[in-house]
Structure 1
Amino acid sequence: MLLALCACGPAFAGDPPDADRKAILAMQGGYEVDFAFDETTLLKPGYERAAAERAAGDEAVIVVEDTPAKIVLQHVLVDPKSGHVTKHWRQDWTFEAAKRFEFDGGRTWAVRGIPADLTRGAWTQCVFEVDDAPRYCGTGKWTHERGVSTWTSDTTWRPLPRREYTRRSDYNALEVINRHTIVAGGWTHEQLNTKVLRKADGSREDIVREFGFNDYRKVEDTDFKPAYAYWDATKDYWAKVRARWSALLDVSPGLHLKTKIDGMQLIMALFTQADDVQQDKAVADADIDKAFADWVEPAAVTGAAANR
């Protein structure tokens, strides 16, 4: 049975609160970003805490879509010295979404319905890779107590982060709660992560907890024009790419990536096409279709998925 749009169609007819939409849209702009990840509580006997990780960058957050019940924000990294631009992650926000995709392990994401009591009055945030491949979704309500806007997700699964999958084999999934807070001069993204080894028999081994803190501070003296110029030149191309992902993520059972864990086969194919578009070279729809045919396929239908 086909499912409705994944994290796209609202489940109820209520209008989203203006304060919620204002908070989401407040994340747009140019930012200096610090990324920090610290392993905290050791859960597996004998495990030794990994070194803390730190990174930084300059990032423009651009509004791609703004409708009453859906807001799409595209992140674009820029090197202020060279002007080099890299398309980064994307976040889609849908009010009272009926469905969302969920990481099922390996390279598979399944489309599942969201319980009515979870999605009523809530926003589902779905996060996508640099090539618009899926990463994870979470559902929760915005609160605005004492003038501070905060959104906290439910507990969901996500694949290993890019910073670790090339050097870690002791776990294969993150169990995560995400929190976004709008603060003076920017916003923050907190991640309450548990690194988990999920096993074929359905059991799990918890390795360690981790706290992630991404601090977005709005800046006025950084030149983000290259990021906006890149997006203006390639946005129509990336809209076509998103449409092809949606064709698989909007219906059950979801999708499976045939790429290696780093996803670079498809990332390089799509980024090369985007570079061609930026240089005013034609990219045929058939070329985009071929990249997807080579590296993306519908997920296998399981008994549980078939009955959803």
Structure 2
Amino acid sequence: MKKLLTLSLALSLGMAFGQNKKENDKNNIKEMCGCYEVEFDYAETFSDAKDYEFRDRYTAHALEWVLADEETEDMVMLQHLLVINDSMIIKHWRQDWYYENTELFVYNRNLEWKKEEISADKAKGTWTQKVYQVDDSPRYQGYATWIDVDGKSYWESETFAPLPRREYTTRSDYNVLMRTNRHQITDYGHLHDLDDAKIIRTEAKDSILVWEKGRNKYTKVDDSRCAAAVSWWETNREYWVDVRAVWDDVMEENDYINIAQKADNKVLYERLFRLGDELIAEKKYNSKKAQKQIREQIDIHLSSVATPWDTATAE
């Protein structure tokens, strides 16, 4: 009987610890919400190629509103909105966090993603970060546990991704980015720390062209500075919820996704942003009609046929 009581107590304590850890993880994720001055800083560091010419360091600044747009027991959705000159709002990237997720869309190359399964054992205690583009198309996904040690709280994962927006229209000398993403909660806000490898991927192998260090520093400021973003999202949210719903259907229906960067000389985000402006301007917003038109625009850029390896460039 004593052994049974001891075992029962141990199981109860273990369950309580697991639940407390999960809630603490969620709090870490939600700590990334708020109004931030953001500093983006990237520098190429070293390359094994003797004739490689290092690119100039990239820096930028922004004001950004980050909100938890949806939350369930096992998920937190963070939407980023850029604030330009205090009043102009641009829908930015989105990150969804899932607890003990067992399914990933893994980036391959040339805007191709393939669905992969994670075993329940590997997923236990982890959080998957699913990152999406400004048009809510997929970008990259990775999973890891949140670490709380020595007064530090951080999450770190390695995953493949498309070229960053700052380079995908200007470079064709590599076609995959291997990202080591580290999100750390800090006393000033949070830090997105990156160690990237710019990879030339061929059918035969991966070769690293150059390594890069990235640092996105989010310094929290008064929420009032992002008031315009709060108002903009209230007006535009319904449409973008529908965009997310359509993408959810696309990713549920397919184990492989191939997105054409341009179709009829137009990029997907231009189509969806323009459609959103038109539908939101109507007297009465119709969600069913909107989802039908959103799917039509997305389908223009989708293909079920893999890109031939002889065209595997970043263009």
Given that residues 190 and 212 in structure 1 are in contact (C-alpha distance below 8 angstroms), is that contact kept between their aligned partners in structure 2?
yes
The residue aligned with 2:159 is 156
Question: Are the equivalent residues in 1 in contact too, given 2:97–2:127 (CA < 8 A)?
Answer: yes
Q: Contact conserved, 1:176 with 1:194, CA < 8 A, in 2?
A: yes
Pick 1 or 2: higher relative contact order, CA cutoff 8 A, min separation 6: 1
Aligned-pair RMSD on alpha carbons? 2.1
Taking structure 2 as the reference length, what is the TM-score of the superposition? 0.84
2:228 and 2:280 map into 1 onto residues whose CA distance is: 12
- Assess if the C-alpha contact under 8 Å between 2:38 and 2:217 holds in 1: yes
- For residue 264 of structure 1, report the CA deviation from its aligned partner: 5.3
- Which of 169, 172, 175 pairs up with 1:172? 175
Distance in structure 2 (CA, Å) of the matches to 1:265 and 1:250: 23
Is 1:294 equivalent to 2:296 in the alignment? no
5+ residue gaps in structure 2? Answer: 1-17, 307-315
Tell whether the 8 Å contact from 1:193 to 1:209 is kept in structure 2 after alignment: yes
> 2:111 is matched by which residue type in structure 1?
R
Write out aligned runs for 1:183-222 (5 A): 183-199=186-202, 201-220=203-222
Q: Which amino acid aligns with 2:153?
A: S
Q: Is the 8 A contact 1:90 1:132 kept in 2?
A: yes
Larger CA deviation: 185-194 vs 107-116: 107-116
Greater shift in the superposed pair: 263-272 or 66-75: 263-272
**Are the structure 2 counterparts of residues 234 and 277 from structure 1 closer, same or farther at C-alpha, using a change threshold of 3 Å?**
farther
TM-score (norm 1): 0.86
Residue 242 of structure 1: aligned partner: 244
1:248–1:298 contact (8 Å) kept in structure 2: no
Matched residues in 2 for 1:176 and 1:221: separation?
A: 30
Richer in helix (by share): 2
Task: Measure the CA separation in 2 of the matches of 1:267 and 1:229.
Answer: 22
**Alignment counterpart, residue 20 of structure 1, candidates 17, 25, 37:** 25
Letter in 1 for 2:127: W
Q: Match of 2:6? A: none
Letter in 2 for 1:34: E
Q: Report how far residue 272 of structure 1 moved.
A: 1.0
Deviation at 1:259, TM superposition (A): 2.9
Identity of aligned residues (%): 35
For the 8 Å contact 2:106–2:116, the answer to whether it is kept is yes
Shift of 1:296: 2.3
Cα distance, 1:221 vs structure 2: 7.2
Q: CA deviation at 1:277?
A: 4.0
Counterpart for residue 5 of structure 2: none
Give the alignment partner of residue 70 of structure 2, picking from 60, 65, 71.
65
Partner residue, 2:132: 128
Contact residue 262 and residue 268 of structure 2 kept, 8 A? no
Name the aligned partner's letter for residue 226 of structure 2: F
Larger Rg: 2
Supply the distance in 1 between the matched residues of 2:198 and 2:105 (Cα, whole angstroms).
20
Number of aligned pairs? Answer: 284
Partner of 2:262: 260
Any stretches of 5+ residues in structure 1 without a counterpart? 1-13, 301-308
The structural deviation recorded for 1:44 is 2.1
Counterpart mapping for 1:101-120 below 5 A: 101-120=105-124
AA paired with 1:150? Y
Q: Does 1:54 align with 2:59?
A: yes
Letter of the structure 2 residue corresponding to residue 270 of structure 1:
L
